[in-house]
Amino acid sequence: MMRDLEKDLEIYQKATPGPVGLLEPLKPDHPDSVFIQEAWQGWPEAISRAIAAESELKNLKGYIAMSEVNCTAAYNDLQQDRDVAKAKLFLAEEKLGNLQIVLQQRVEAIECLKAEVERLQKELSFLASQAKIVHSIKHENLLTYKTFPIIVENRCNKALGVVVDADS
């Protein structure tokens, strides 16, 4: 059973101050006499220190309990923040994947457009060379019903760099 230190201190404080005469006097160097003297002087301090220690222990237990509650709340907040961050990361990775697909499609479209531009440039160049041929033929007054197709073909072949065998 735990002692009630407050009550022990009260009993001590009501007692007669200083050494009390015993029924049988003890010699000053007798172990019981030394014990009584030391207890008389030390017991009040021991009781006061025990009371202070119990009070501090109670405060520390409260602090520890509050710390446990705070740590649990902080841990739960961190877990929730982690879960939110994971969800945001997943969405960001999904968006990145979608953007990569769109980017690849756009790159492919650009390549197709480049090829089409190149084809159209060649066709335009060819049409321009044909226009020059027709223009030069008109100026040379060589437009006749029989010679026009031959002249146009020869000049187109020349413009395109096609070598035509003279025997054919």
pLDDT in tens, 95-135: 999 999 999 999 999 999 999 999 999 999 888 888 887 77
Residue 146 domain-assigned? yes
Per-residue pLDDT of the chain (168 residues; tens, 9 = 90+): 677 777 777 777 766 565 555 556 667 776 666 667 777 777 888 888 888 999 999 999 999 999 999 999 999 999 999 999 999 999 999 999 999 999 999 999 999 999 999 999 999 988 888 888 777 766 665 555 566 666 677 777 777 777 766 555
Tokens of 71: 């740590």
- For the chain, give the mean pLDDT: 81
Tokens of 120: 């159209």
Residue 140 domain-assigned? yes
Residue 14 domain-assigned? no
Pairwise CA distance, residues 44 & 28, whole Å? 22
User: In the Cβ-directed half-sphere of 16, how many Cα atoms lie within 13 Å?
Assistant: 5
pTM: 0.43
User: In the Cβ-directed half-sphere of 15, how many Cα atoms lie within 13 Å?
Assistant: 16
161: alpha, beta or left, given left = phi > 0 and alpha = psi -120 to 50?
Answer: left
Residue 114 domain-assigned? yes
Residue 15 domain-assigned? no
Are 130 and 153 within 8 A, CB to CB? Answer: no
Pairwise CA distance, residues 117 & 112, whole Å? 9
Pairwise CA distance, residues 27 & 123, whole Å? 134
State the residue range of the domain holding 124.
Answer: 30-160
Residue 16 domain-assigned? no
Residue 9 domain-assigned? no
For the chain, the domain total comes to: 1
Pairwise CA distance, residues 18 & 31, whole Å? 18
Residue 25 domain-assigned? no
